[in-house]
Amino acid sequence: MTSDELLQAGDLVAIGRHRTVISSEFADSLEPGDQVLALSHNGQLRRLPKAVVSLVDEAVSSASRAFTQLSDVSDSAINRFFALAAEALQDDGRFSKVRDANQRDEESARARGRSVTRLVLSENMRRDMIAALLMWRDAPMSRDSVVNRTQHAGWSVEQRAAPLGVLGFVFEGRPNVFADATGVLKGGNAVVFRIGSDALGTANAMMDVIIRPSLIEAGLPVDAVVLLNSPEHAAGWSLFSDSRLGLAVARGSGAAVSELGSIAQQSGVPVSLHGTGGAWMIVGEEASADRLESCVLHSLDRKVCNTLNVVAVIRHHASVHIPIILRAAENAAAPRGTRPRIHAIQGAEEFLPKDVHIVVRRSEGEMTESQTTVASVDSLGREYEWEENPEFAIVLVNDVGEAVELFNAYSPQFIVSMISEDSAEQQRVWSSTNAPFFGDGFTRWVDGQFSLLRPELGLSNWENGRLFGRSGILSGDSAFTVRLRVQQTDDELHR
């Protein structure tokens, strides 16, 4: 729908099963040439400015042309791109330009009271990006690999992995997403992506200094990787509503990601969504004290989606296990010069510090808060977005069965770790929890690069249902379609 169709304040429009009245504020915001996107899942409207629509249309068109050109590009040229990009990142002179842009982004974000936990381009992040690019350089090509072969008398059928097309991404404001986004080249795909506005300056510097020069030198079409140079959320909405995409991937969590997924789905675009983050840990009857302490400690090193968020402790072991958990959390906070915050559920407060106040560091500044709070069972679905103070919930349960029930009812259906030396307890939780990621130790292993030696395009939980035919880790070489190719040796073959 375009704004030229004269939506007026007070108009009643039908959007899916919803009836929406146009507000005066929305009607007044429209300008000639704008488009209006109707969201069928909630009946809301989104304004797509004319300039943003044109930007996205040109980006997808350019990437579509580059995708066609990639079919004539050799495997060695694609591998050379990754080698060149890694080399460019290792060059201090070139990288200094990216670092300068990142520092400006960081300063701007801090001034606006924004979180910079994932924004800062540290040396560790730089090394991880280099390692990821080199992983892609050395990984087998997947764009024309044989998936299966069926032999008949006089003929055979091969199922072969083939490139999917143009992939669209909306990334959170993290500067290290380039190794993830460019990984789609390994499968012969092109990519258009939007990054969070906080990191847009860093992203433009990465494109100018690292990505485009490496594409050109390797002999790849420069538009095989396109950054949407727009801070507006409308760029993501417009991208995900473009039916030319082969796949739309939204990283992050919360309502914004859910909305992007709905836009893609109503536009006929396959979608991979993250959903809410936050890992769960269940402490079994036969938990090892040393293993429990180590796993909690290493699950709280920083706040990302796979950070420990909820610990379920069996009530009659609480006096033993909760002090171990608290000690591990204190040790995780100590290098940051902070202390942990604990949310007690179903009586866990009995075993936690009372009337203790700590300094809590948040993006908007420091404040003094209670170290322990009492929370309701309904809060088990909350993801604690902490900055410097590790923050999570402890819930008391009567047995492992109750812990499983709470996970299935309240968690985002993401990660569960079962701490127990009893294989039967392990098997019970594996079989009965609705989680795509299950482990018996720390939770932070849920990462494509760390666990599968493949930089991930995105993690997907089961918050919106189980995934069809794939795991919750989407990597660059796992975005493909399947073509069938027949070789006939019998000239008289017929049906």
- Spell out the SS3 assignment of 225-266: EEECCCCCHHHHHHHHCCCCEEEEEECCCCHHHHHHHHHHHH
Residue 468, domain member (yes or no): no
Whole-number pLDDT of residue 1: 52
Judge whether residue 4 has pLDDT over 60.
no
Rounded Cα–Cα distance for residues 422 and 56 (Å): 54
Q: Looking at the structure, tell me whether residues 268 and 417 fall in a common domain.
A: no
Q: Looking at the structure, tell me whether residues 429 and 302 fall in a common domain.
A: yes
Give 178-195 pLDDT, tens digit per residue. 877 898 999 999 999 999
Judge whether residue 453 has pLDDT over 90.
no
Residue 100, domain member (yes or no): yes
Judge whether residue 201 has pLDDT over 60.
yes
Cα dihedral 267, 271, 274, 276 sign? positive
Residue 454, domain member (yes or no): no
Say how many CA atoms lie within 13 Å of 176 toward its Cβ: 21
Expressed as residue numbers, the domain containing 187 is 52-275+475-481
Whole-number pLDDT of residue 339: 97
305 φ, ψ (degrees, to nearest 5): -65, -30
Which token pair is 174? Answer: 């993290």
Q: Looking at the structure, tell me whether residues 430 and 387 fall in a common domain.
A: yes
Average pLDDT over residues 197-202: 93
Q: Looking at the structure, tell me whether residues 64 and 182 fall in a common domain.
A: yes
Q: Looking at the structure, tell me whether residues 174 and 313 fall in a common domain.
A: no
Q: Domain tally for the chain?
A: 3
Q: Which residues pair with 12 in a beta bridge?
A: 21
Residue 335 maps to which CATH number? 3.40.309.10
Give 352-396 pLDDT, tens digit per residue. 999 999 999 987 789 999 999 999 999 999 999 999 999 999 999
Q: Is residue 420 a contact partner of residue 286, using CB atoms and an 8 Å limit? A: yes
Whole-number pLDDT of residue 172: 82
Q: Is residue 430 a contact partner of residue 404, using CB atoms and an 8 Å limit? A: no
Band of pLDDT at residue 74, cut at 50, 70 and 90: very high
Rounded Cα–Cα distance for residues 310 and 447 (Å): 19
Whole-number pLDDT of residue 3: 47
Average pLDDT over residues 39-67: 92
Whole-number pLDDT of residue 5: 57
Q: Looking at the structure, tell me whether residues 253 and 350 fall in a common domain.
A: no
From 409, 434, 449, give the residue that closes a domain.
449
Give 397-424 pLDDT, tens digit per residue. 999 999 999 999 999 999 999 999 999 9
pTM across the whole model: 0.83
Rounded Cα–Cα distance for residues 70 and 64 (Å): 10
Judge whether residue 307 has pLDDT over 60.
yes
Residue 267 burial by CB count (10 A; 0-12/13-18/19+): exposed, middle or buried?
A: middle
Mean pLDDT of the chain: 92
Judge whether residue 8 has pLDDT over 80.
no
Give 230-244 pLDDT, tens digit per residue. 999 999 999 999 999
Which secondary-structure segment (H or E) carries 206? helix 200-206
Q: Looking at the structure, tell me whether residues 38 and 63 fall in a common domain.
A: no
Q: How far is residue 249 from each of residues 191, 196, 265, 347, 351, measured CA to CA in Å?
A: 11, 14, 11, 40, 42
